[in-house]
């Protein structure tokens, strides 16, 4: 059974801090990884995708991929209350999503 695992949280960080969200996957053949943000009652919104080992930065967001250890993470720098949402990790091969991590950023 191919799995994508995320800590359900909630993860709470103060405003301005770095939020670190982690995701592990079981299918070693997975090639592409995606992070989505989902506000309560809304549909998922694509934040970042990463295909290669290492870091990929986009504004306040950094995705990190380690295929040998089978994990992908998302760092959010200078967290804002507007970042409070559920963050979903997805693996392309069979478009399997994790259950999501709920992030709360406290002012």
Partner 1 sequence: DAGVTQSPTHLIKTRGQHVTLRCSPISGHKSVSWYQQVLGQGPQFIFQYYEKEERGRGNFPDRFSARQFPNYSSELNVNALLLGDSALYLCASSPGDLPGEQYFGPGTRLTVT
Residue 68 Cβ, how far from partner 1 at the closest point, in Å?
Answer: 21
Residue 7 Cβ, how far from partner 1 at the closest point, in Å?
Answer: 13
Query: Cα angle at 73 between 54 and 103, to 5 degrees?
Result: 155
Residues 90, 98 contacting (CB under 8 angstroms): yes
Binding site for partner 1 (CB under 8 A): 4, 32, 34, 36, 42-46, 49, 88, 90, 92, 94-100
Nearer to partner 1, 34 or 76 (CB): 34
Nearer to partner 1, 45 or 55 (CB): 45
Nearer to partner 1, 19 or 50 (CB): 50
Residue 78 Cβ, how far from partner 1 at the closest point, in Å?
Answer: 26
Residue 30 forms beta bridges with which residues? none
* Structure-block tokens of residue 47: 């934040």
Query: Cα angle at 51 between 36 and 60, to 5 degrees?
Result: 50
Residue 92 Cβ, how far from partner 1 at the closest point, in Å?
Answer: 4
Nearer to partner 1, 57 or 78 (CB): 57
């Amino acid at each position: 059974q191919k799995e994508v695992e995320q800590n359900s949280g909630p993860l709470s960080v103060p405003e301005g801090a770095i939020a670190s969200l982690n995701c592990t996957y079981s299918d070693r053949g997975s090639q592409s990884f995606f992070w989505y943000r989902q506000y309560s009652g809304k549909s998922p919104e694509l934040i970042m995708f990463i295909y290669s080992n290492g870091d990929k930065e986009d504004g306040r967001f950094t995705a990190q991929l380690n295929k040998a250890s089978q994990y992908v993470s998302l760092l959010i720098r200078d967290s804002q209350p507007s970042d409070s949402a559920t963050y979903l990790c997805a693996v392309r091969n069979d478009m399997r999503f994790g259950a999501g991590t709920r992030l709360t950023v406290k002012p």
